[in-house]
Amino acid sequence: MRLVSLLRTVWSVALAAVLLAALTAAVPADRASADSPARSTSVHQVGYDTYSVTIDGKRVMLWSGEFHYWRLPSPDLWRDVLQKIKASGMNAVSIYFDWAYHSPARGTYDFTGVRDVDKLLDMAQEAGLYVIARPGPYINAETDGGGFPGWLTTQKGRARSTDAGYLDAAHEWLRHIDTILARHQVSNDTGPVLLYQVENELYDPDGRAYMVDLSKQARSDGITVPLVGNEPEPQYAGGEGLDFVGALDQYNTFCQGQWWVPQLTRPDETKPLAVLEAGTGWFQTWGDTGYDKCRQTVGPAYQKIVNKAEIMQGATIENLYMAYGGTNWGWLADPRQVYTSYDYGAPITEARQTGADYDELKRQGLFYTTTAPLTKTEPAEAPASSDESVGVTARANPDTGTQFLYLRHADAMADSDTTTRFNWRTPNGTYPVSVRLNGQTGKILLAGYDLGGQRLVYSTSELMTSTTAGDRDVALLYGADGDPGQTVLRYASKPTVTVLDGTAKAAWDPDRGDLKLDYTHSGLTRILVHGGGRPDLLLLIGTDDQAAGFWRPDSATLVRGGELVRTSAVRGSTLALTGDASKAGPLEVFASSAVRNVTWNGSPVTVRRTASGSLFGSVPGPKDVQLPRLTYWKKSTETPEAAAGFDDSSWTYADKLTTDNPTRPGTLPVLYQDEYGYHYGYVWYRGHFTATGTEKSLSLTAYATNPDTSSRAVGAYSVWINGKFAGTSETGRHTFPLSAGLLHKGADNVVSVLVGTMGHNEDFAYAGDDHKQPRGLTTAYLSGSDARITWRVQGARGGEQPVDTARGAMNTGGLYGERSGWTLPGYPDQKWKDTSLPVSDTTPGLAWYRTNFTSRIPAGQDVSVGVTIADDATRDYRALIYVNGWLMGQYVNDTGPQHTFPIPNGILRADGRNTIAIASWNEDGTSGDLGKVTLTQLGNVTSSLRVADVKAPSYDPAVYAQQATPATVGVDAPDTVEPGNTYQVTATVTVPRTGRALRGTALSLTGLPDGWAATPQDPIQVGTVKPGATAEARWTVGVPADQATDAVVVLKAKASFSGGSVTGEKVITAQPPPPTAGEHYISDLPFQSSSNGWGPVERDRSNGENAAGDGLPLTLHDTTYAKGLGTHAASSVQVWLGGSCTTFHAALGLDQETYGRTDGPATVDFTVLADGEQVYDSGTVDRDADTKAIDVDVSGARQLELIVSDAADGNALDHADWADAKVTCGGGA
């Protein structure tokens, strides 16, 4: 995200035909596949110098807008957005290419349907836009993993480095995307790609070798256009292997009401000044104020001052982030940063509507991209302002002498009405000038400019654009309503001036040959200047609002009217226009006199010739549209996974004992959902254990989002124990008490956990593999018991091989309804319960609501529609909103801020049947279940836009029926074993009553660790197992004497039979011996489990980052401790005492590294448990508290557990030390 290329590029009117030809060259009809080699012969020479980008030596001003096609899953709407970007005056679009969006699994890439990059680039070319291609591999963009695919979380090697494991994967992606980009390059005359960005916002002082590698990869993949990078640091400024334009990211507001004016620093004086991300807004987090508030901050005043300031510092590559933000549909969002909407406060809203900020950008954009001298400017002497509250800066083109003055209040936030006077030394003489600045505004004034066949001496109005229409020049000037203006033109002899509309005074200075026009900006003034030795000039002078009504669809046409003008084409004497209209109104065309007829969206427009020489007519507006009421709903409760008897035999065992993830698991086996191929959406866990009767509590740590609880990310998880609801926790650690009678001693007990995973972190600068931060369960253990839990996990159906490839892996998660196709059109919900909304339900867990409605949008209209949920914000539930099978919204009722979710046309069928399916998660069992749901109209225009329904499958019972396993296998063994002993292990195979008999069945133990021995060794034959029957086999298993203690072992049994096999597993532990007599530091003992709010629990260091040992010395109030534990709330550490110890001692407090810091809260609570019973609680401890020295009686305890909790104010700086932590032991149980 955040990146704007300020490479100076402005195309002149004289060069427009050349550049347009380079941009709109036809793509070969036999377009190659994604695997085919790119054309490598350069046809156009694309380069740059200190001023700007050049094409065949001709300078280009790149005024660009950011657009993410993957945030708009309707390809026909890509054309809509691209045409709106072009119509706003921009000549380029910057595009991030999201690796994750295209790659559900290593080696699998999809560039079809809503992922068709070839189609996207063709559309950009058709719209007349250059492309700044930004393929990463890392893009940030507030998207899941920063664009890294979920499967990359399990790869070896640190991301964004030269580690081989990462680079191999990154090269794989780049080879796929670069091949497509290479065949759409301007340099090959085959497409619009003009610049290629290497990586994104790396900012790593040690990253040079990595950047060199990616640059070489791009070149080897056929990329021949210039390379750019928003890496302005000196280490990337060039040299061997690096040759790209270093660019800036410039964000001047966080949408909190304040903003500032940038001071740009050029990274390299030999290259253009580029801003690859100039913020048009800012992203919003969960619980924020909403993008409408943001848009109030970044409205026209902001754009007038900030954008013009950057251009007037010499930027010729300027990319506005965002032009259109779009939607984080599915699981695209990085939940730590954003919610479903990625509107961004952009000039084109999420619902594809435009407003005042779009108008302002159009006024600027047409000026920047049609005023050629702006592509090559240098600082110039500015005239002295008569009012010191007004700042004036100047630039000039060294070749033409054209001058540009930028005026604004010195205090950018000032809104006073000020008139300043100065003597303007223009290329044609010095003139006394006065300029009014009324309110928050900035102006770029022009002098010494050849405007077609005219000579503009100067103007105190701003130039929006000019053109030559047939045998006359047309120029459009503008200013604030009521502001005085003055324009001076030079002629060889006195011309004739006719004021056609409005009021203006003309004065002729024969000595200078100057025609001076004085006027006040009001309405639209039209002045015709004839003679004087020059072609006729039609001067249009309007207010800001009047100017906003103009469009420049081609180099020889101006159009006034309509909501949008998309395209223009002259066929004989007819000008064919396409566009949008939000209401019936006038249409005026300024074109060559050879144009006598006009069509609008294919229909003739009755026109008349005006005194201005224009053609004047009118266009119709849209018909009113009444959206259907969502009255009839179907409801089905869900959550069968919570029931004790639910069949989870087809789920994936969580049985990995190692991981390449830099975050060490708190308990084994590894429970991270990514390790088992479930990367996106909600995930279920079911854990089985045999209760001993001594269990006191269940401790779980789950990361549904980032564990920093001071953020407003809204991850949560719910827990059921033997089918009974135990509660819901926010992301992080939580202890669930095990009340009497809840567990069944000596029998199978089941823990069901629904983790509402919201997405992966980004991996921004210096993040250190932050995208790999685990999701799902990370730690799970029982307090007061030796029992071990064996876990299964279930996420989205198919995992890395999704069953719905059209919508893709990021569209659904692991809810029962998602896995069963309840989200899809055509699902047979006839047997569901009839209901209406709103509805309340106190049942914890999931309920699904479905409704169908028929949309009848009139042909030729573009109507934007959203789904709105309205409810009392005190009700505690969240919902997933599916429209025709696409996950278009994540709603959290008590957090917000989003209540309306725009649905892209194409996903919403404009003329046909639509299905809405909503999964509502009642988190606390008291205040669910779903509020009122309505359709909201967000825009309605007549339009030439045609949008096809996006192709994606409906419900298919053959695909979504829940498949039963032929049998289940159970393993019975002691939860803990000791080295050198033997134990009996029993395996059973059970066939469901509704199943088929298993013939030729044999049971075997598989995958025993080295040194372990099972007797008998061969499989045990159990013959035919009939439906409803169970067969078993027993082994004597010997544990080697040298077996490492505190090691987790997964015992696996396999039932083989005719036609298949089924496996079962059980997790056991080799128990460590109790500590010997004497004192033992906790940091020297093995941890049975550990969890931490950030990074690992540190031994003998304070809490650090992601790696063990990267903390500082433990320090409390200037006292440094050599031994102890450094933690970050919420944290827990469990160690085995075996009943041999008597006393636990520690010095407690918040580490000194938090003292004096104001960037977050720091309050914690220290708790000590012995066999699950609390034996010490510190109460709230803050930074000012004295060090607490404690001695706690732990006599006879088998397990010691040390817990640090957040004191309910966020855990940003909760660095808690168990300094000098040790136990005194007697040496025997």
Q: Would you state the structure tokens that stand for residue 34, as one six-digit string? A: 């994604």
Q: Would you state the structure tokens that stand for residue 446, as one six-digit string? A: 């022009």
- Residue of 66, 142, 199, 277 with catalytic role: 277
Say how far apart CA 657 and CA 795 lie, in whole Å: 20
Task: Report, in angstroms and rounded to the nearest whole number, the Rg of the chain calculated over CA atoms.
Answer: 34
- Cβ-in-10-Å burial (0-12, 13-18, 19+) of 112 comes to middle
Phi and psi at residue 260, to the nearest 5°: -140, 165
Adjacent-strand bridge partners of 434: 421
Tell me if residue 800 is catalytic: no
Adjacent-strand bridge partners of 336: none
Whether 900 contacts 868, CB under 8 Å: yes
Whether 271 contacts 53, CB under 8 Å: no
Phi and psi at residue 170, to the nearest 5°: -65, -40
Say how far apart CA 318 and CA 249 lie, in whole Å: 10
Q: Which one, of 227, 326, 329, 307, lies nearest residue 271 by Cα?
A: 227
Whether 34 contacts 289, CB under 8 Å: no
- Cβ-in-10-Å burial (0-12, 13-18, 19+) of 1037 comes to buried
Say how far apart CA 98 and CA 674 lie, in whole Å: 19
Q: Which residues contact 1147 (CB under 8 A, 6 or more apart)?
A: 1116, 1119, 1121, 1124, 1187, 1188, 1189, 1190, 1217, 1219, 1220
Q: Which residues contact 182 (CB under 8 A, 6 or more apart)?
A: 38, 39, 40, 188, 221, 222, 223, 224
- Between the two ends of the chain, the Cα-to-Cα distance in Å is 59
Say how far apart CA 610 and CA 1152 lie, in whole Å: 79
DSSP 546: H
Question: In Å, what is the CA distance from 1105 to each residue of 48, 259, 1153?
Answer: 42, 32, 13
In the three-class reduction of DSSP (H, G, I as helix; E, B as strand; rest coil), residue 836 is classed as coil
CA 944 to chain CA mean position, Å: 31
* Angle of the 208-220 helix axis to the 164-182 helix axis, nearest 10: 40
For the chain, helix (H) and strand (E) counts, in that order, are 13, 78
Q: Would you state the structure tokens that stand for residue 145, as one six-digit string? A: 């993993």
Q: Would you state the structure tokens that stand for residue 602, as one six-digit string? A: 């294919």
Say how far apart CA 539 and CA 467 lie, in whole Å: 11
Q: Which residues contact 241 (CB under 8 A, 6 or more apart)?
A: 212, 215, 216
Q: How is the beta sheet containing 1199-1206 ordered, strand by strand? A: 1087-1091, 1131-1136, 1199-1206, 1163-1170, 1173-1182
Say how far apart CA 264 and CA 248 lie, in whole Å: 8
Say how far apart CA 406 and CA 443 lie, in whole Å: 6
Tell me if residue 310 is catalytic: no
Whether 38 contacts 221, CB under 8 Å: yes
- Residue of 66, 142, 199, 201 with catalytic role: 201
Phi and psi at residue 213, to the nearest 5°: -60, -45
Phi and psi at residue 100, to the nearest 5°: -60, -35
Q: Where in the sequence numbering do the catalytic residues fall?
A: 201, 277
